[in-house]
Structure 1
Amino acid sequence: MYKVGDYIMHETSGVCQVKDVSEKALHGKGSERMYYSLEPVFDKGASVLTPVDSKTRIRDVKSSDEFKTLLNEVNQLDVVKEEGNRARTEKFKEKIALFDPKQLASVVKSIYLHQKKRLAAGKKVMSSDERVMDVAAQRLFEEMAFAMKTDIDTVKHAFFSRLDGEDK
């Protein structure tokens, strides 16, 4: 169980700080449960209320060292090579559901390289890829920026420059 002041990774809200842990009866008398009151780090003013025993996944924020290793190994990450758009999107969703930065990085890398290939061939970027990229990149880069004590643009640049071969 987390305590007030801890920083955690929330499955849908990203990096959050635990502001309160208390018992609440949201559905009337007799429905008391313990809840975390969370404040998303990158969405100031927002708040999230999630049961301590919820199915919503939360975990510790990964360390700066883990993300430095991930950045150094970005070129060795798997690339999703499913041919059909629907199959590729399903594979991306499976990887995102694993709630792991390495899997998110694999999705971001796969979409980025696929988009570059399409643009080089004179084709448009697929909107389904853009939607998946938005979700995966936001979750990955927010956690990276928080853990590495920097801003999102800096970690994005570090990630994509490695893919482009500028930072080998």
Structure 2
Amino acid sequence: MFKVGEYIICGSNGVCQVEEIGPMKIPGVSKDRIFYTLTPVYSGCSAVYTPTDNEKMIMRPVLSREEAWKLIENIAEIGIYEEPDNKRRDMIFKEALKTCDCKEWVKIINTLYLKKKNRIAQGKKEITSDEKYLQAAEENLYGELSIPLRMPKEKVESFISEKVDALIEDEAFA
């Protein structure tokens, strides 16, 4: 069970802070069932109520500072999705987003950055669905990493880019 004040990932709601734990104070709702009252950190939603025993929704703690650093250090090794069929890749991306797994989000970002770079080099435009998945993966990843890195979500992308570039440069000279 999570604790009041803790930051968690709660399904498609993204990063949420646990505000209360207890029965719902709404007439008609059983007082025997315990709920989390969550405040989404980055969405406009005012509150999310979910049972503490909800097994259908993925709920997990936000990465620790150490886990966040380890993830950043391993971004290049996480790799890409190598599915050539766009429709199947879209299905893979949809499922990967639902897992609420940072490595899956990184894999989507890696795949789509590489694809975007290749398309631009060929003089082609980006694919709209790719941009949608890239935006969703970045939103999820940067939102989560902002908590353990203690920085605004808007600065996480450039911070990661700098760190990954530095790591690649260090390895090139090793």
Please tell me the TM-score bracket, short chain as reference.
0.7 to 0.9
1:37-73, Cα deviation, whole Å (9 max, x unpaired): 1011223662111121222111111111111121112
> CA separation of 1:88/1:29 partners in 2, compared to 1, >3 Å: closer, same or farther?
closer
1:23 touches 1:34 (CA, 8 Å); kept in 2? Answer: yes
Against the structure 1 CA distance between its residues 84 and 161, is the aligned structure 2 distance closer, same or farther, given a 3 Å change threshold?
Answer: farther
Q: Distance in 1 between matches of 2:73 and 2:116?
A: 22
Partner amino acid, structure 1, of 2:117: K
Offset from partner CA, 1:130-162 (integer Å, 9 cap, x none): 111121111111011111101223320133456
Going from structure 1 to structure 2, the CA distance change for 1:32 and 1:67 (only over 3 Å counts) comes to same
Q: Which amino acid aligns with 2:2?
A: Y
1:74/1:162 contact within 8 Å kept: no
Quick one: which amino acid aligns to residue 6 of structure 2?
A: D
Match of 1:128 in 2: 129
1:92-111 paired onto structure 2 within 5 Å: 92-111=93-112
**Structure 1 counterpart of 2:11, one-letter code:** E
Question: How far does residue 94 in structure 1 lie from its aligned partner after superposition?
Answer: 2.6
Give the aligned partner of residue 80 of structure 1.
81
**Matched letter for residue 131 of structure 2:** E
Q: Is the 8 A contact 2:12 2:98 kept in 1?
A: no
For 1:138, the equivalent position in structure 2 comes to 139
Please state how far the C-alpha of 1:83 moved relative to its aligned partner: 0.9
Aligned to 1:21: 21
- Structure with more helix by fraction: 2
The 1:99/1:33 distance shift into structure 2, 3 A limit, reads same
CA deviation string 1:113-139 (max 9, x = no partner): 111111121111111111111211111
In structure 2, what residue type is equivalent to 1:60? Answer: P
Distance 1:45 1:85, change over 3 A: closer
Q: How far apart, in 2, do the equivalents of 1:35 and 1:29 lie?
A: 11
What does residue 52 of structure 1 align with? Answer: 52
CA distance in 2, matches of 1:155, 1:30: 42
Q: 1:79 corresponds to which letter in structure 2? A: I
Asked if structure 1 preserves the Cα contact closer than 8 Å seen for 2:9 and 2:59, the reply is yes
Distance 2:163 2:120 in 1: 19
How many pairs are equivalent?
167
3-state DSSP of counterpart to 2:57: coil
- Return 127-136 or 17-26, whichever deviates more: 17-26
* TM-score normalized by the length of structure 1: 0.87
Aligned-residue identity in percent: 30
1:118–1:6 CA distance, 2 compared to 1 (3 A): same
